[in-house]
A and B are shown apart, each in its own frame.
Chain A
Amino acid sequence: MDKELKRSIILDNYQNPYHRERHDDEEGYIKINSRNVSCIDNIDLYVKMKDDKIESISFDGEACVISISSTSIMSSLLEGKTIDEAIEIIKNYDNMIEEKDYDKDILEEALVYDDVARQPSRKKCATLTWHGLYKKLLELNEEK
């Protein structure tokens, strides 16, 4: 993907994020707070499950361009996926960020972060909410 296109996808997700809304204390929403103490981002994710599937993800918070945009991209990418599918996608995403082998075909727009490793301080921003959700999904899997 060329730099221009990446930039416009990131900006679009930052300026018009997917499902940026709060669902505090609403029935059926699991709230996951992700904070990055070193780089001050603070985002709440709201995940609604239906059986084994992620029915919707929304979020709100204060964070940098990379955290917000990557959360927006994650939300639209993972909606409708099963827990296992979502776990697989997040693992691949993480491998991409860490410059390991990964499956390009399942990451869609999230591929815009394939060179984040060049700015090591931003790796945390790009994975902040992904890691938070990953942990929660593993928990849900265990409860099954």
Chain B
Amino acid sequence: MNREDFPMLDGNLIYFDNGATTLKPNQVIDSMTDYYSKYCANAHRGDYSNSLKVDNMYEGVREKIKKFINAKEKSEIVFTSGATDGLNRVVFGYFKKHLKAGDEVLLTVSEHASNILPWFVLAKEIGIKIKYIPLDCHHEVVLENVEKMLSDKTKVISLAYVNNVVGDIRPIRDIVELAHQRGILVVGDGAQSISHIKTDVTQDDIDFFVASAHKFYGPTGIGFLYGKFDLLDDMDPVSYGGGMNAIYMSDGYMELREVPTRFEAGTQNIAGVIGMGEAIDYLDKIGIKNIIKHEHELKEYLVSKLKKIDNIILYNEDTAGSIVAFNVKDIFSQDVAIYLDKYNICVRSGNHCAKILNKAFNVENTCRISLCFYNTYEEIDKFIEIISNIGNIWNEIL
């Protein structure tokens, strides 16, 4: 679908690493070039027309995101540099202030490093306890395992909506319902989900939600954090500076501006925000329903083909997402990736920033194919042909 919009797809590149970052459509690229070449100015500053235009564009993107994820208020959207930044702000801006020694946070071993390491640091700093929700035999999160882990001390559950190694879609809405019955907050990491499933923060009743634009066809270095207004209002900024203060005095007195401006200190990534807004429009135009359908069909097709090849080990054939994790028997995943690269096929090898998952997987490293809507059946056929000939690998890569 819509391949013509992507200049990177002009040649013979087969891009199967969409979980790492997606390619960018012309609409997004052009919107950023336009900002730099036609109305470049800072936001919230000047009284001249370009600056006003920038202000309107910038705040307009907040509105677009609000609609896209169905938040109640535009002020509940904070621009960040990405999912990692969002998670760090939530952990150090909100939870550091509200948790105390002995309080428990529930994670899983398959979370991305960005949803584990900040909690490790908080555990060191204030003595919270980290507990891992056990995964089921398909490495997935199921509600009953969440329930089993709850205690009087549990204060937060922080989980990806969609995991980045096996691609399972977590039952977040049910988890939130369960959590809220006991006054537990839930942080949703939407990095891998936002471009693949419908996000509805209001229906889900999620407390915090983060995402990165570069994983939904937008630019790198920009993303957003959603938080319920009252929670954001009770969160501390992690950076201080221009744009976010209302007044300050020489004696150290300061008053901060309102939510969300309070969280956007310094000159922001304006081009990034504009590009992210364009990416939202782009996704809306294609329609998340169409995306889900196409990706699902592609994944089924890929799995059915891979299963016919003898020496392929599949780790997640039954998961619902658009990720396929596999290995070729007796060949190291990185060597497989290098072999595929000879044919211009991009896949990721390694542990995918989930370094403690391997215990569960019983394998340190895998190759990962992460599909998206511009991938095609023809690309999969080509890949299958090449991976079937992997007997040639040493002639190709040595």
- Mark A78-109 against chain B: 1 for CB-CB distance below 8 A, else 0: 00000000000000000000000000000000
Check if A52 is an interface residue, CB within 8 A of chain B. no
Query: Is there an interface contact between A64 and B334, defined as CB atoms closer than 8 Å?
Result: yes
Shortest Cβ gap from A55 to chain B (Å):
30
Which residue in A6, A7, A42, A65 is a CB contact (below 8 Å) of B335? A65
Shortest Cβ gap from B1 to chain A (Å):
32
- Mark B325-348 against chain A: 1 for CB-CB distance below 8 A, else 0: 000000011110010000000000
With a CB–CB cut-off of 8 A, which chain B residues contact A63? 332
Which residue in B335, B351, B394, B395 is a CB contact (below 8 Å) of A64? B335
A62–B334 CA distance with the chains assembled, in angstroms = 11
| Known contacts A6-B398, A7-B394, A40-B350; A64 and B332 CB within 8 A of each other | yes
A144–B136 CA distance with the chains assembled, in angstroms = 54
| Known contacts A40-B364, A42-B364; A11 and B335 CB within 8 A of each other | no
Query: Is there an interface contact between B332 and A11, defined as CB atoms closer than 8 Å?
Result: no
| Known contacts A62-B364, A62-B365; A40 and B398 CB within 8 A of each other | no
A111–B253 CA distance with the chains assembled, in angstroms = 68
Check if A39 is an interface residue, CB within 8 A of chain B. yes
With a CB–CB cut-off of 8 A, which chain B residues contact A7? 394-395, 398
Q: Which residue of B lies closest to A39 (CB)?
A: B334
Number of chain A residues whose Cβ lies closer than 8 Å to a Cβ of chain B? 15
Check if B349 is an interface residue, CB within 8 A of chain A. yes
Check if A128 is an interface residue, CB within 8 A of chain B. no
Q: Which of B73-132 contact A (CB under 8 A)?
A: none
Which residue in A10, A65, A121, A122 is a CB contact (below 8 Å) of B332? A65
Shortest Cβ gap from B286 to chain A (Å):
34
With a CB–CB cut-off of 8 A, which chain A residues contact B334? 39-41, 64
Query: Is there an interface contact between A10 and B398, defined as CB atoms closer than 8 Å?
Result: yes
Query: Is there an interface contact between A40 and B335, defined as CB atoms closer than 8 Å?
Result: no
- Mark A42-82 against chain B: 1 for CB-CB distance below 8 A, else 0: 10000000000000000000111100100000000000000
- Mark B173-197 against chain A: 1 for CB-CB distance below 8 A, else 0: 0000000000000000000000000
With a CB–CB cut-off of 8 A, which chain B residues contact A65? 332, 335, 394, 397-398
The 6 listed contacts between A and B (C-beta, < 8 Å) are A7-B394, A7-B395, A40-B365, A62-B332, A63-B332, A65-B394
Which B residues have a C-beta under 8 Å from some C-beta of A?
Answer: 332-335, 338, 349-351, 364-365, 394-395, 397-398
